[in-house]
Structure 1
């Protein structure tokens, strides 16, 4: 094992993140005050990695993949991961968070209507207006027109990207899932936040002279303090941008990313995934289905989810009914790009 590797791909949690050296001078951030440690790994990671994490892990990176993942950690650069559906792109983020103890993965799913602000923060102006009207009716508004108590912070909630950029001691893991589903503007809009590691909340900036520190909600469901209406990271997050290769990205985004292309999972990786989800003997018991999954014509696409579905369902069929098991597996593992 190369000593420089922080993420080793073994699936065994360790404190290697504390050995990460300081960032390059051009990627050094000094945000503050430091926020509390993140929420622990949640069930989303358990579903991805499997219940038998001590036996095997779904994601087993090869040497080149390990080097590129660690390059993103060292250089504080986003990791752009491309590959076919089911090749393990999203799972990579959960595997890194699990092994390095980086807490709950912040997931930002992208659709055609997604805009940058969705990932940074949401401000519920309508709810604040309604509460102010109720407070005025009850005579519970100060001379400056503001509510007592939590005030405007109650109506601001940070999104996954905004939470990832909070000034934490350790990097958060942010999964920007299926970026190629976005409209043409979002990749370009992401550039400044990913390059500068900070963003402003105008609704809070306007109040910074009177209220320099305001508590807001974060994507973990907790609270974070925003100073001066701006958020600036301390440890740049480990950002995983996934793409199914359905579109090209602008050159300015590509030059700011480390690009990793994942190939189709081989038999060893699929067997490890099956053991992680179904137990230590599951790969041998379902060897025929795994080989059936791998037996495809050139150009055919299958997702690892199809394999898991086939194994789970065929386990429910009677063992002596081999014909039913084979038929179920064949139906559930039809190529995704083949019209029935």
Structure 2
């Protein structure tokens, strides 16, 4: 699909183009977004600035990227950050050990790795179709390009026909220098170099970058924050908001929804516990939807709403309480 017109996110899955990119999510995301969130996303798309999302666990930070990519028909590349993650990991990885292995097994003398800024000879690629999503079939150790694999940002930079949505999930798990290292890539001239091959990869279409953070290591560096748009996602702890999420979820998954009185009672009981403020780990919307599904279909008959309203202990606590302290307080009779 060509990116010829201005992209706008409206939280409407019916707007998905028919010629969606092959790497676009195939299943619709039942996402409910506020007008403020939609504005933040569209500002990020327009300005091509990373959108940094913070908020309560389970409030939809990670799922937003899927919702944006599905509606706009754009490819989605996800980068899950870990404590050992380096900025280069999202661009490319180079497997020098595999190249050395191929030298010995194929008994081919490799050309030395090219000097920085010097490109690989093109004639070495004649027997190798350069694929973005799979390893080369006929690797030639004389060509360093056969041993580099692109990460989420690297794939996004290489796209020629449309921008990609890149999710950088839980950026706060990485080293404190990691966000600042990204600045050299997520800004003009939007390019990076592969030192082993001498290639310079320049983005034809600047990606739509969505970053999530749980502030595990405190605030992110100020220089990084200055380059980002910021939005805080509140948990939908209002009955109308949760009802809208339930409606959208069952509309998308094409399952019969629970009876209205069961949904109303489940929302009331769930929010009463959530808003009480005594939980060490508050359940998110996905956990609520799993709990509601169990109430509806786990037994041969749906759970009785009047019984749910009357019982002191919530049924199926395994779905809601994931820490010992919460379990003892809300799942066991005192």
- What range describes the TM-score normalised by the shorter chain of this pair? 0.7 to 0.9
| Contact 1:128-1:155 within 8 A present in 2 as well | yes
| Cα deviation code 1:287-308 (max 9, x no counterpart) | 2222222222136422112212
Q: 2:22 aligns with which of 36, 39, 64?
A: 39
The alignment status of 1:305 with 2:277, answered yes or no, reads no
TM-score by length of 2: 0.74
| Cα deviation code 1:207-237 (max 9, x no counterpart) | xxxxxxxxxxxxxxxxxxxxxx011112211
> Structure 2 matches for 1:137-216, cutoff 5 A?
149-150=127-128, 151=140, 152-196=144-188, 197-205=190-198
- Counterpart in 2 of 1:93? 65
Once structures 1 and 2 are overlaid, which stretch shifts more, 287-296 or 67-76? 287-296
**Are residues 338 and 306 of structure 1, via their aligned partners in 2, closer, same or farther at CA, if it must alter by over 3 Å?**
farther
**Are residues 42 and 5 of structure 1, via their aligned partners in 2, closer, same or farther at CA, if it must alter by over 3 Å?**
closer
| Contact 1:272-1:283 within 8 A present in 2 as well | no
| Contact 1:180-1:244 within 8 A present in 2 as well | yes
**Are residues 269 and 10 of structure 1, via their aligned partners in 2, closer, same or farther at CA, if it must alter by over 3 Å?**
farther
Partner Cα separation in structure 1 for residue 228 and residue 207 of structure 2: 13
- Counterpart in 2 of 1:67? 39
Structure 1 residue 280 displacement after superposition: 5.7
- Counterpart in 2 of 1:333? 320
Partner Cα separation in structure 1 for residue 266 and residue 317 of structure 2: 9
Structure 1 residue 283 displacement after superposition: 7.1
**Are residues 192 and 338 of structure 1, via their aligned partners in 2, closer, same or farther at CA, if it must alter by over 3 Å?**
farther
What is the DSSP-based 3-state SS (H/G/I as helix, E as strand, rest coil) of the residue aligned with 2:210? strand
- What residue ranges of structure 1 are gaps of 5+ in the alignment? 16-36, 50-56, 206-228
- Counterpart in 2 of 1:281? 257
The alignment status of 1:81 with 2:48, answered yes or no, reads no
- Counterpart in 1 of 2:84? 113
| Contact 2:32-2:248 within 8 A present in 1 as well | no
Partner Cα separation in structure 2 for residue 156 and residue 119 of structure 1: 12
RMSD: 3.0
Partner Cα separation in structure 2 for residue 158 and residue 84 of structure 1: 32
- What residue ranges of structure 2 are gaps of 5+ in the alignment? 1-5, 114-123, 129-139, 329-334
Structure 1 residue 270 displacement after superposition: 2.6
What is the DSSP-based 3-state SS (H/G/I as helix, E as strand, rest coil) of the residue aligned with 2:197? helix
**Are residues 170 and 149 of structure 1, via their aligned partners in 2, closer, same or farther at CA, if it must alter by over 3 Å?**
closer
Structure 1 residue 282 displacement after superposition: 3.5
- Counterpart in 2 of 1:243? 213
| Contact 2:25-2:70 within 8 A present in 1 as well | no
| Cα deviation code 1:266-295 (max 9, x no counterpart) | 333433333344436337242222222222
- Counterpart in 1 of 2:200? 230
| Contact 1:81-1:261 within 8 A present in 2 as well | yes
Structure 1 residue 153 displacement after superposition: 2.5
Ranges of 4+ aligned residues in structure 1 off by more than 6 Å:
142-148
| Cα deviation code 1:6-35 (max 9, x no counterpart) | 1112222245xxxxxxxxxxxxxxxxxxxx
Structure 1 residue 180 displacement after superposition: 1.2
User: Higher relative contact order at CA 8 Å, sep ≥6: structure 1 or structure 2?
Assistant: 1
| Contact 2:79-2:167 within 8 A present in 1 as well | yes
Partner Cα separation in structure 1 for residue 151 and residue 213 of structure 2: 21
- Counterpart in 2 of 1:213? none
What is the DSSP-based 3-state SS (H/G/I as helix, E as strand, rest coil) of the residue aligned with 1:67? helix
- Counterpart in 1 of 2:99? 128
Partner Cα separation in structure 1 for residue 111 and residue 84 of structure 2: 40
| Contact 2:7-2:72 within 8 A present in 1 as well | no
Partner Cα separation in structure 2 for residue 63 and residue 85 of structure 1: 21
